[in-house]
Structure 1
Amino acid sequence: MTFGPLTRRRASVLLGATMLAGMAKPSFAQTEIRIIATGEPYSNAMKAAAKLFTERTGIAVTIDQYPYSEAYNKEVLLGTSGSDEYDIMVLDCIWLPLFVKNKWVQPFDPLEAKAKQKVDWAGFLPGIVDAYDRHDGQLYAAPIDFFIEVMAYRADLFAAAGLADAPKTWAEFKAYAEKLNQSEAGVYGVVTMPGEQDAGYSEWTVRLASLAMPPESNQFVWDKSFKSMLLQNGNGQKALDLWLEIKPFVAPGANEMGYAESTNAFMQGNGAMFINWYMTFSDVENPQASKVAGKVKYALPPRHTLEGPRHDYLGGFQAAISSKAKQPVEAYEFIAFLTSDEGQNLMLENGAPGAYRKFVYDDQKWLERYPFLAPVKQAETVVPLTSDFAEYVEMQRIIYDELFAAWTGKKSSADAMAAADASLNSLMQSLGYQKP
């Protein structure tokens, strides 16, 4: 999917008026929709949208929030036990294929036919629905949070060091990290996050995506026949070595840092550069919590070489409807409202920066409030993480364990990637994805 100029499909005020007219008379009095979500910014903002939805429809909306890993474990338990406790399950994009495979969530199409309000699929940012929400020709979820990885860098520290622009290659990134490293002043060249599975894996994949994509593949870890691509052209080791080479310039305590700890370190002024999924930078721009608010600029991550097309992984959270939902049609209608242009504005207004509607990227109001959105328009091709592989979390753990072993010096990068490659192929074979 190629990003070109993103145009507003229709003015959000017109869509808001349309939805207001269609939802003016409560028709589901005494009905309650229950939602399970993670604790990211989107779920807090969703409560504001839920309040307005309830005022218009009479449908009560209850949102329960859990920490990321705890939410995954609970949602898997809900699926395996056949629980009807929740109508909507908000899933990380890497979880959704497992829930579809096990029939823990239901397709939208039959519900859409019954609903008064329909999801405006055409208004989503191009490519993000097809990346994760469509399986075997049916839609199983809708995006309520979208992000790619973005580099944050301290403009004030760059200026003091005589650096005008963000590094464009990983070689420049390392050179900048060394130049900006001021350990005696408590400021380090880079903040990194190897201490948490998804975060550490992302440090590797953002570098992996800067290399040439393997043949017969639509992503970088395995090909379309589910054969491991980690050893293809040595890409897995190259990406790992690009990460390892910045170790002398990282903030202390990195081995224990995940998303929360690394973001806090950057917010406290401990690092000059930080690459992460852009959703985390909302806190960086909050002057009440961040010492570096107003001092940060944003760019797409570096590349291995400036030749050829660039690729960026896309992530996000998706709203799916439980196969055991007590109120499936009403749940669908809430998702339709939440994912409308009006719903998107409510999410942004209440601190959720993961803009999934394409109009946002031409709206100066939101680009000024969330400056890390601007680089998204410069992305060329965005790549899905999962490619319909249901056991993604298990695969990720296998590779992450090897990455962390290399980061902590217990294995060489070559040995770590050889072990990860063998384990990944073994997993793919045992699950029946990779044919003998």
Structure 2
Amino acid sequence: MKRKEVRNIRNRALNKEDKGGEKMQLKRAKILLSVVIVAGLLFTSALALAQTRIRVLMLTSPAMTALRDMVPEFEKKYPDIKVVWEDTAYADIHTKEMNDFIAHTGRYDVIQMDNPWLPEYAGGGFIENLEPWIKKAGLRLWKDNVRKWPPGVEMYPTIYLEDEIVPVLNFYGNWKGNLYAIPNMPGVQLLYYRKDLFEDPQEKAKFMAEYGYELQVPKTWKQLYDVAEFFTRPPNLYGLTWSAGKGNMAVQNYYNIAWSWGADCLAFGQGFPDPDDPIHNMPICNSPIGVKALEFFCSLKPFMPPGVAAYEWAEITSDFIQGKAAMMFQWSDFVRDVEDPAKSKVAGKVGYALMPGNPDAPVNNVPGII
């Protein structure tokens, strides 16, 4: 065999060996990468298993948005806890919670509820008595069996937390003498109004000519009616936007009117505090003053945008920040959205006042805690 042929055979053999080595190195690299990926997945899984996951269900609202923004800070302070956040509209939150309770799915660990649901949730055994957990956390909780709660009924002990008596704690968390909930979203309804409209010289002159008195922020329900009627110019502007959806939406707003006129919906609020009295919990919304308040409430509908009968807080806020209403009755925490220039066309143009009342009654505010 010639020397050249021998050299060619040797070179081909070396090339084959090199390619085989490359393939082997590539195979080793793939195996190593797989090991790294698997190790990473195992580490991530182990970390996830080591964390306690707390799933919460909250109401979609500016106040809860602020709370959600604090979750990263909480998780940084407690790295072994992972918060899984979910929020939903008011119309859906009760249904989601009850479905979870009845089906025993245990989907949620922490929930937000409206205060009228406390008897249903606590009485049904769906939520836990918080007192053992409060004591475990080292907080001082004690009860006064002399000073009973609620006032006028005095059936259950008053609850103190950390040497303080907090009335809202008992109003909204005390169920038959035990603490089942901590109030976390306080608020008061306010009258939001467009300063740019109320202070416009032409609008003021026109109102004076039509109604015979100066345009001003309404202090009485009669003034509110006049101002709402005056600014109603459909389809671009309405005098008032106000949630009138079924259930709590309509009830809370009816109460604004009814209470300021001295009406109530339950007899114990009208001087029948004895729980053994058959009339104690009897509905009395159909009293003459209650009917009058309801009729007035309904009379405002022509001055509101179409669809208010299904409105919740988000819809009325949307109308107002888009400049579609001169006034809005809304909870105080929605100021955040109203004054956000990125969301609101009326940011910086809004004034805030107390709810209207009757000349013979104090100006009415309806506080609320969820």
Taking structure 1 as the reference length, what is the TM-score of the superposition?
0.58
Shift, 1:44, TM fit: 2.8
Quick one: which of 321, 332, 337 aligns to 1:283? 337
Shift, 1:87, TM fit: 1.9
Quick one: which of 352, 359, 364 aligns to 1:306? 359
Quick one: which of 111, 131, 142 aligns to 1:109? 131
Quick one: which of 52, 66, 87 aligns to 2:109? 87
Shift, 1:61, TM fit: 1.9
Whether 1:203 and 2:253 are equivalent positions in the alignment is yes
Q: What does residue 245 of structure 1 align with?
A: 299
2:192–2:327: 8 Å Cα contact kept in structure 1?
yes
Q: What does residue 320 of structure 1 align with?
A: none
SS of alignment partner, residue 182 of structure 2:
strand
SS of alignment partner, residue 113 of structure 2:
strand
Q: What does residue 153 of structure 1 align with?
A: 193
Whether 1:70 and 2:92 are equivalent positions in the alignment is yes
Q: What does residue 173 of structure 2 align with?
A: 133
Whether 1:144 and 2:209 are equivalent positions in the alignment is no
Structure 1: where are the runs of 5+ without partners?
1-28, 318-436
Cα separation, partners in 2 of 1:300 and 1:104, compared to 1, 3 Å: same
Aligned-partner Cα distance in 2 for 1:269–1:125 = 43
What do residues 333-368 of structure 1 show as CA deviations (whole Å, max 9, x unaligned)?
A: xxxxxxxxxxxxxxxxxxxxxxxxxxxxxxxxxxxx
Superposition pairs of residues 321-332 of structure 1, within 5 angstroms = none
Cα separation, partners in 2 of 1:272 and 1:123, compared to 1, 3 Å: farther
Q: Identity rate of aligned residues, in percent?
A: 28
Aligned-partner Cα distance in 1 for 2:188–2:196 = 25
SS of alignment partner, residue 301 of structure 1:
coil
Aligned-partner Cα distance in 1 for 2:226–2:296 = 12
Quick one: which of 176, 190, 198 aligns to 2:240? 190
What do residues 201-259 of structure 1 show as CA deviations (whole Å, max 9, x unaligned)?
A: 33322211212145963489x99611111123x13211112222223322344445433
Whether 1:168 and 2:216 are equivalent positions in the alignment is no
SS of alignment partner, residue 55 of structure 2:
strand
Aligned-partner Cα distance in 1 for 2:78–2:71 = 10
Superposition pairs of residues 9-48 of structure 1, within 5 angstroms = 30-48=51-69
Aligned-partner Cα distance in 2 for 1:121–1:129 = 9
Alpha-carbon RMSD across the aligned residues, in angstroms, is 3.1
Q: What does residue 348 of structure 1 align with?
A: none
Instruction: Report which structure shows greater RCO (CA 8 Å, sep ≥6).
Output: 1
Q: What does residue 209 of structure 2 align with?
A: none
SS of alignment partner, residue 298 of structure 1:
strand
Bigger Rg, structure 1 or 2: 2
- The one-letter amino acid of 1:307's match is D
Cα separation, partners in 2 of 1:280 and 1:111, compared to 1, 3 Å: same
1:196–1:258: 8 Å Cα contact kept in structure 2?
no
2:258–2:293: 8 Å Cα contact kept in structure 1?
yes
Aligned-partner Cα distance in 2 for 1:287–1:279 = 16
Q: What does residue 74 of structure 2 align with?
A: 53
What do residues 130-179 of structure 1 show as CA deviations (whole Å, max 9, x unaligned)?
A: 22111112111112211122111111111123356421110111122223
**Runs of at least 4 residues of structure 1 off by over 4 A?**
116-126, 213-216, 308-311
2:188–2:331: 8 Å Cα contact kept in structure 1?
yes
1:129–1:142: 8 Å Cα contact kept in structure 2?
yes
Number of residue pairs matched by the alignment: 286
1:158–1:180: 8 Å Cα contact kept in structure 2?
no
Shift, 1:121, TM fit: 4.5
1:267–1:291: 8 Å Cα contact kept in structure 2?
yes
Aligned-partner Cα distance in 1 for 2:341–2:133 = 43
- The one-letter amino acid of 2:305's match is A
SS of alignment partner, residue 184 of structure 2:
strand
- The one-letter amino acid of 2:349's match is K
- The one-letter amino acid of 1:175's match is D
Structure 2: where are the runs of 5+ without partners?
1-49, 142-159, 205-213
